Amino acid sequence: MQRSVQLGLLLLVVQLFQEGLGNIPAVTLAVLGFNVYLYMFPAAPPIQACVSLQRVFRDKEWRRLFLSPLHHVDDWHLYFNMVSFMWKGMRLEGRLGPAWFLYLLSVFFLLDGLVYLLLQAALTKLIEDSNPLVAFRDECAVGFSGVLFALKVVSNHDNPGGVTYVLHIRVSNRFASWAELVLIYLIAPGTSLVGHLAGILVGLLYTWGPLKTIMKKCAEFVSSDLNAPRPSVFFSSSGYSGTRREHSGEPQPAEDHIADDASEYTESFIAGLTEDEQIEMAIRRSLNNRGQTSQGETEPPAEEEVSPEELSRRSLSRFKQGNGGS
């Protein structure tokens, strides 16, 4: 259902144009735009998108883990979250790069909901007979705030000596996230304390815990699998010149490759080769000799183009003639 344009949304648009769309990194702008789109055209009403222990585990509504961070209760909720995300994204995406920042966002996006459910389960177990805190058990959270708290921890971690103003109060970066957690809950008790706490814990898992190492290992595995250089055969004007790596830059001259191999052509080495391997080695030596004898000579005006197969056949013929035929 399409929502009418409201003041918070208008202020967000004004804020974006004041900052300049060209000054906002691509991933930050795309994620921000997607949140605005889902506010205008929600995939589900907030009550059906929020995440809670009962609705996810008891009712098996796992889709809430994906819907919750991307939906907001009202336009002001959207405005404050997206302005905060814009500033954090501009700082972190510029420092980490768009690929890693998107990777980081995706991991935080998934982990925040899971940590939130674990915290809610633990608090429910601890306070199940305590009426004053029963709200923790029935709380259903929605919004991007948990991811923002995780990003705030990461941003402040790299500048521990700096300061942050939390509701106009000057706080050291070391304690800024915790101060914001407490102050926001005191000023607006309806906000999700558990959801914000989950975000802080996810951020700490990245900065102080094993999460960053695990993410790097996964990234290295995927990168090495997709971008591993594969050997490929290439030919020069002098014929077969060995193998090279796809991403190793310009191939070396064919004579360099063959000269290295020729230095290893000893009797003990040849004796351990099969007949086919000896023939291939002889072809390579023949081509090497041909390239060396042609050095310093003037290249003919029109060089005959010979296929690799024809070069191999001619060299094999010369090898057999030199050895008395077979």
196 is catalytic: yes
Sign for the pseudo-dihedral over CA of 35, 36, 39, 43 = negative
**Which amino acid appears at position 49 of this protein?**
A
- Range list of β-strands (E), the chain: 163-166, 169-172, 231-236, 239-245
Q: Which residues pair with 166 in a beta bridge?
A: 169
SS3 category, 255: helix
Catalytic residue among 71, 72, 77, 196: 196
H/E stretch holding 170 reads strand 169-172
Catalytic residue among 145, 241, 286, 312: 145
Known catalytic membership, residue 223? no
- Give me 43's structure tokens: 């995939």
Dihedral angle, C-alpha 272, 316, 306, 285, nearest 10 °: 50
Helix 145-157 × helix 176-187 angle, to 10°: 150
Positions annotated as catalytic residues are: 145, 196
